[in-house]
Chains A and B, each alone.
Chain A
Amino acid sequence: MEDNRIATHPILAWSRGTPVHVTYDGQQIPAYPQETVAMALYASGVKQYSTSSRFYHPRGMFCAIGKCSSCMMRVDGIPNTRTCVLQVRDGMEVETQHGDGRFPDVQAPMGGVAENNAEVLVIGGGPAGLEAALWAARAGARVTLLDQNPQLGGQLIKQTHKFFGSAKENAGTRGITIAKQLVQEVAATPAIEVYQGFTAFGWYQGAVCAADQQRAVLFHPRKVIVATGAAEKMLMFKNNDLPGVFGAGAAQTLMNVYGIRPGNRVLMVGAGNVGLIVSYQLMQAGIEVAAVIEGAPKVGGYLVHASKIARNGVHIMTRHTVLEAVGTDHVEAAIIAEVDDRWQPIPGTEERIACDTICLSAGLKPSTELLEQAKVDLAYTGELGGWVAKRNWAMRTSNPDLFAAGDASGVEEASTAMMEGKIAGLQAAYDLGYTGIPVEEQKETRRNLDDLRAGPFGAKICIGLKCVEVLE
């Protein structure tokens, strides 16, 4: 059987442990305990998880972080299971889901709903959520932290590159190292209770319902911080639903979290920081990058990231877009073309690029579902990735008990997400009367955040913030 697991890597090492077995459409597939179902299948060469509801097109993964519905399968009889975030268990039965999920033949062993009186509820265990939880707890609050992934850290756990930003705040340190430090601190903080693998899905008059595969819990928090991150955006082109077309972040999850090769030859679409960084990381994992294409006339990300891949021989093609993914069950090639000043493809410039993977890095959309349910004031702000919550300088939304931080409050990057999380966490604690951390600490963090945004790369963010930051 095919095995796409990476053995050696210049930055990472994986301790995989003893393999277990899952059954995939009646066939035994080896899997390692840390792996999720989708990852284990992918490692064994299974890249189609379902067929679409209307046209029965093959469906592969897209986001690999539990944000979309692309990897939904039947697991132990339960349809619509997001296999990218569900860890494997020996003997698990996984089936391709054909079309819409049928109601389970077996009833889920879901007992009643437990109740929890959380003081500060932080939803999302990425950079913003971890910092929010830590600082709220440091100030004196009791914190409950929910995270829907198998492990804490959000997207930091796949950031193998060294962070930019201020030396005061973690710059020069790899994201994976920052994640490890934050997660250790959370584990060492008794005032933080973690619900791992729990998806918060419902807002009920201030109460938040969350569940994993086994149980549901209704939280009655006094303050809520939504740090749910963002989801990768799809691009419109022919056959964009073909397995092998997925987010650049999904490729990063595969190779950097689970040590699985996303493909052998990748076309990267988008030369923002994510596209450039992931291209570099693909090469570090020994994968060929066919080219990086970008619709804009200039590279959108940092020039240093572009230079890093250019000096390894990767061709960056600005003013180019993808027209079509070629293949029947899986990507075999991409058709790209040059675009004019209005981003329209120029006839006659089409080019076929042989590749087995097309990675999209076309931006992210804030995950605002809970904020929408809670009916806080939102504003569509293109500069921040889409609909985001209006808030004051301390990340408080129009609901005084509800905060948003990190990419969920506007797509930026991990350093700023951590600072926003800290500001929101401290504010939630101050609101409840906890003063273990002086207000000056919070104010200084806000000043440092403004400094980071003061350059040309922060200009767009600042324009966006003008639309959503409410002055008091």
Chain B
Amino acid sequence: MSHFETGIIDALYLRENGFLPSEERQRKGPVAVIECIQEIPCNPCVGACQFDAIHMEGINGIPHVDFAKCTGCMSCLKVCPGLAIFIQDRSRAKPSVIVPYEYLPLPVKGGTVTLLGRDGAALGTGTVRFVLAADKVSRSSLVSVEFDDPALCEQVRNIRVG
């Protein structure tokens, strides 16, 4: 079944169409992954990027990340209405992913959380590196989780607390 039937975005589609950064790029430092593959009228991510790393043709275009320019600064994560942007990082001792999180309770730094894939299935557990609580402009909280298996970077898209 396609993602348009289930809502579960197909990782193979993302990989084959250049939405995911290479392993080499991930080893260099944090990088944004935008899982927004449908033409919808929305563009705040483009303006939020200070590094001119997000490109889109017209307001209904699909955002593409220039992985060479992206610094993984998280500015786009904060504004994306679709909560469709994640940060992958394999440059540190432990691989990590940053996900937007809008549920209660918020996880705490150092705590253990269940890692969830695009279909909500558990992928194992991870440790919370940091939590950026939503700021006054009421943007989403961002949670960074680290784990052992680098292959999970491309799969972890949500967490469950407890």
Residues of A that sit less than 8 Å from B by CB: 8-11, 161-167, 171-174, 176-177, 271, 276, 283-284, 286, 297-299, 302-314, 316, 318, 451-458
Cβ contacts B60-84/A at 8 Å (1 or 0 each):
1000000000000000000111111
Q: A171 to B44, Cβ gap below 8 A?
A: yes
Report how far A452 CA is from B42 CA in the complex, Å. 8
Most B-side CB within 10 Å, residue of A173, A302, A307, A312 = A307
Report how far A357 CA is from B137 CA in the complex, Å. 33
Sample 16 A-B pairs with CB under 8 A, ordered by A number.
A166-B42, A167-B43, A167-B44, A167-B46, A167-B47, A177-B137, A303-B7, A307-B84, A311-B116, A311-B120, A451-B58, A454-B41, A454-B59, A454-B60, A457-B40, A457-B41
Report how far A271 CA is from B44 CA in the complex, Å. 24
Kindly list chain B residues whose C-beta atoms are within 8 Å of the C-beta of A453.
41
Known: A177-B138, A310-B119. A303 touches B42 (CB 8 A): no
Closest approach, in angstroms, between the C-beta of B133 and any C-beta of chain A? Answer: 10
Which residue on B lies nearest to A458, using beta carbons? B41
Closest approach, in angstroms, between the C-beta of B3 and any C-beta of chain A? Answer: 6
Q: A310 to B118, Cβ gap below 8 A?
A: yes
Q: Pick from B43, B120, B137, B139: contact of A312, CB below 8 A.
A: B120
Q: A302 to B118, Cβ gap below 8 A?
A: no
B93 at the binding interface (Cβ < 8 Å): no
Q: A286 to B104, Cβ gap below 8 A?
A: yes
Most A-side CB within 10 Å, residue of B104, B106, B118 = B104
Q: What total of A-B pairs shows CB separation below 8 Å?
A: 153
Kindly list chain A residues whose C-beta atoms are within 8 Å of the C-beta of B53.
none
Report how far A453 CA is from B7 CA in the complex, Å. 23
Q: Apart from A165-B42, A276-B7, A303-B9, what are 14 other A-B pairs with CB-CB below 8 Å?
A: A164-B81, A164-B82, A171-B44, A172-B80, A284-B104, A286-B104, A297-B5, A299-B5, A303-B37, A304-B83, A452-B59, A452-B60, A454-B59, A457-B60
Kindly list chain B residues whose C-beta atoms are within 8 Å of the C-beta of A452.
41, 59-60
Known: A311-B158, A455-B59. A172 touches B44 (CB 8 A): yes
B22 at the binding interface (Cβ < 8 Å): no
Residues of B that sit less than 8 Å from A by CB: 3-9, 35-44, 46-48, 58-60, 79-84, 102-104, 106, 116-121, 134, 137-141, 157-158
Q: A299 to B81, Cβ gap below 8 A?
A: no
Known: A8-B104, A311-B120. A302 touches B38 (CB 8 A): yes
Which residue on A lies nearest to B104, using beta carbons? A10
Known: A302-B40, A455-B60. A313 touches B102 (CB 8 A): no
Closest approach, in angstroms, between the C-beta of B6 and any C-beta of chain A? Answer: 6
Known: A164-B81, A312-B120, A456-B60. A171 touches B43 (CB 8 A): yes
Q: B81 to A10, Cβ gap below 8 A?
A: no
The 6 closest A-B pairs by CB, nearest first: A455-B60, A304-B82, A306-B7, A313-B120, A310-B7, A162-B81
Report how far A456 CA is from B58 CA in the complex, Å. 13
Which residue on A lies nearest to B141, using beta carbons? A10
Which residue on A lies nearest to B102, using beta carbons? A10
Report how far A176 CA is from B139 CA in the complex, Å. 12
Closest approach, in angstroms, between the C-beta of A44 and any C-beta of chain B? Answer: 24
Report how far A454 CA is from B57 CA in the complex, Å. 12
Closest approach, in angstroms, between the C-beta of B80 and any C-beta of chain A? Answer: 7
Report how far A277 CA is from B1 CA in the complex, Å. 22
Q: Pick from A176, A306, A314, A455: contact of B120, CB below 8 A.
A: A314
Kindly list chain A residues whose C-beta atoms are within 8 Å of the C-beta of B42.
164-166, 171
Known: A10-B103, A284-B102, A305-B82. A310 touches B36 (CB 8 A): no
Report how far A177 CA is from B7 CA in the complex, Å. 28
Q: B6 to A310, Cβ gap below 8 A?
A: yes
Known: A172-B79, A174-B138, A304-B84. A164 touches B4 (CB 8 A): no
Kindly list chain A residues whose C-beta atoms are within 8 Å of the C-beta of B140.
162
Kindly list chain A residues whose C-beta atoms are within 8 Å of the C-beta of B121.
313
Which residue on B lies nearest to A281, using beta carbons? B102
Known: A284-B102, A455-B40. A172 touches B120 (CB 8 A): no
Closest approach, in angstroms, between the C-beta of A448 and any C-beta of chain B? Answer: 9
Kindly list chain B residues whose C-beta atoms are within 8 Å of the C-beta of A173.
137
Report how far A449 CA is from B154 CA in the complex, Å. 37
Most B-side CB within 10 Å, residue of A284, A313, A454 = A313
Q: B118 to A307, Cβ gap below 8 A?
A: yes
Q: B40 to A171, Cβ gap below 8 A?
A: no
Report how far A10 CA is from B140 CA in the complex, Å. 9
Kindly list chain A residues whose C-beta atoms are within 8 Å of the C-beta of B3.
303, 306-307
Closest approach, in angstroms, between the C-beta of A293 and any C-beta of chain B? Answer: 12
Report how far A304 CA is from B134 CA in the complex, Å. 20
Which residue on B lies nearest to A306, using beta carbons? B7
Kindly list chain A residues whose C-beta atoms are within 8 Å of the C-beta of B8.
307, 310-311
Report how far A456 CA is from B4 CA in the complex, Å. 14
Q: Pick from A172, A299, A454: contact of B7, CB below 8 A.
A: A299
Kindly list chain A residues whose C-beta atoms are within 8 Å of the C-beta of B82.
164, 302, 304-305, 307-308
Q: A455 to B39, Cβ gap below 8 A?
A: yes
Kindly list chain A residues whose C-beta atoms are within 8 Å of the C-beta of B102.
10-11, 284
Q: B41 to A311, Cβ gap below 8 A?
A: no
Report how far A313 CA is from B7 CA in the complex, Å. 11
Q: Pick from A176, A312, A456: contact of B158, CB below 8 A.
A: A312
